[in-house]
Amino acid sequence: MAFPVRAITLDLDDTLWPFAPIGARVERVLHDWLTTHCPRTAQRFPIEAMRELRERIYFERPDLAHDFSLLRKLSLVRAMELAGDDPLHADAAFEAFYDERNRVEFYDDSLDALARLAARVPLAAISNGNADLARVGIGTHFVFQLGAREHGTPKPAASIFHAACERFPLAPADVLHVGDDIEMDVLGAQRAGLRSCWINRTGAHWPHADVRPDLEFTTLAGLADWLDAAQSPETAAA
């Protein structure tokens, strides 16, 4: 299926790199930092207890569901206050967490595919997470990054997709959104009027009979191959 693509928006976690290893690693790194700098907090809130506290903060503050960074900081402040450590350490603790959060291990195809896509059309990142493209080391491939924190509303809300389209500026129908999540990425983009591409690395079954993504690939390289073919001189002349 061929159609014009003038720009691409990309999800990050579990599209360019797997998030699960990061999620496990950051908790250990944060706990080690607390053990050194806030030992009472580390003793009262080992990894599982800190996770439970963070989930409680998330439940208390649904108005901050779009801002994982602030929720993490609030959790650290609460933990330090309860343990009797100085909550002014929260910013430094968050920085230790955030530095590790941006140490990613890309899927094998991601970096080459990103370069190929960026050579064809402008790329932008749309993410509900809090990864930082510059820290991750791929900022040069993107014309901008739009996070749920900055926008104020997470995917699958249409407004975040529309805000990205306006920044290009392009009509939604001219933009292809690429991601791994069926609801957040594929259905969210389609409801907002964008084209959609599902990166289905796990070979999952598509669950909806009445709607499908415009494109589906098992790797980002598959999308790069498709875009190369779609924008080749032979295709354009056909």
Q: Which two tokens stand for residue 29?
A: 């790194």
Environment class of 163 (CB within 10 Å of its CB; exposed 0-12, middle 13-18, buried 19+): middle
Question: Annotated catalytic residue: which of 11, 109, 180, 185?
Answer: 11
Spell out the SS3 assignment of 35-86: HHHCHHHHHHCCHHHHHHHHHHHHHHCHHHCCCHHHHHHHHHHHHHHHHCCC
132 flagged as catalytic: no
Residue 194 near residue 159, CB atoms below 8 Å: no
| Measured distance CA(170)–CA(7) in Å, rounded | 8
List, by residue number, the catalytic residues.
11
